[in-house]
Structure 1
Amino acid sequence: MLTKVGKLKTAEENGPIILENAEGKNYEVNSVIAFVWGKLDGSTTDDTISEELSNIAQIENKEAQNVVSEAIKALQDVELVQAQA
């Protein structure tokens, strides 16, 4: 399981969503990546996140799985998630 690292720095309505990793580096992300990051609590599975995204975005589950997988990879690349021990 993965868990989010860092914090939500800003998320104003109609403004950018900024996440800050543990090193203090800021990253502007889109709403889908922010949604996925917010769900990574160490106990929620990728499949559960995909199902929820599929329902919200009204897309096929397979497409949602691809989106979630890509979002997680992007978050890992900038150290905003870590594997649970």
Structure 2
Amino acid sequence: MNTIKNITLAVFMLFALLQFVVNAQVDSNFNRGCRPNDQVCDRFNRNAFFQCRRGRFVRFRCPRDQVCINVNVNGRRRVRCVRRRL
């Protein structure tokens, strides 16, 4: 019984460490600042995107039944919310 508890704890700690690394990567990318009106899709939620406001990314949602796709327009990072394919 104690072995199962230790294995469960180790797996939980591994997932917590992986989430910490992912969060640190996202924070480091977003804390560098951004250019006005830069946009980028949320990597973890296809229904959301970030838009640059006052040098920081702010999260927004796509309309219902639509997903975000990244688009490059004249060298600027932009997004489009498009109808989800079934």
Output the TM-score relative to the length of structure 1. 0.26
Decide which structure has greater strand share: 2
**Over alpha carbons, which structure has the higher Rg?**
2
Judging by fraction of residues, say which structure has more helix: 1
Question: TM-score, normalised to structure 2's length?
Answer: 0.26
Which structure carries more relative contact order (alpha carbon 8 Å, separation 6+)?
Answer: 1
